[in-house]
Amino acid sequence: MAPSIHFRIDPDLELHLLAERDAGDIFALVEQNRPYLRQWLPWVDYTRSIEDERAFIRSLQAQYLGDNGFACGIWYQKQLTGTIGYHPIDRIKSQVEIGYWLAAPFQGKGIMTKACRVMVGYAFARLGVQKVVIRCALGNTRSCAIPQRLGFRHEGVVKQGEWLYDHFLDLNVFGMLASDWPPQHNA
């Protein structure tokens, strides 16, 4: 088995691989933030129990063991605040997409920008991909601000790019090439 992934970003912030023991905490965080998360994320209504969360974490562990990316919990001041991870790596295109969410009370503290910076650097330095993509719903200004802060290029809008329960969302697509990634941001 590959070594565990753990990033200490600063004294208050760390990321580590999600484990089944985290299922209860993640589910509780989803429950507390369900109305907020439901505005943007299509999986919220399908996460109805700790067992649903456990099954999702098992799928992420299989992704990790298959050397196809991973997902981490985000701990701020030792409290779980959200998750960040790679969608499966596209080896043919040499790219990976990052997905993330953060509980509403923890937004505006720079947590997700720092977490994304680490994950982007790791994607280039360790996963060896040539491109990282982040997709955010058009109206989700907080989420869209993160790739913009990190210097990603806005590559366009995918009209009706995601089905969200009873309507489509248009998605902004942001991309970063390995050759454009600032050296001071490398992991």
Taking 80 as the threshold, does the pLDDT of residue 184 lie above it? no
Contact 113, 99 (CB under 8 A): no
46-67 pLDDT per residue, tens = 999 999 999 999 999 999 999 9
Contact 101, 39 (CB under 8 A): no
CATH homologous superfamily for the domain 6-129? Gcn5-related N-acetyltransferase (GNAT) (3.40.630.30)
- Residue 4: pLDDT band (50, 70, 90) is confident
What residues does each domain of the chain span? 6-129
96-109 pLDDT per residue, tens = 999 999 999 999 99
70-82 pLDDT per residue, tens = 999 999 999 999 9
pTM: 0.92
10-36 pLDDT per residue, tens = 999 999 999 999 999 999 999 999 999
Where b means 16+ CB within 10 Å and e means fewer, 80-104 reads bbbbbbbbebeeeeebbbbebbbbe
Taking 50 as the threshold, does the pLDDT of residue 1 lie above it? no
Q: Alpha-carbon dihedral of residues 124, 187, 67, 47, nearest 10 degrees?
A: -100
Single out the residue of 85, 99, 81, 183 nearest to residue 140, CA to CA. 99
Strand partners, 153: 175
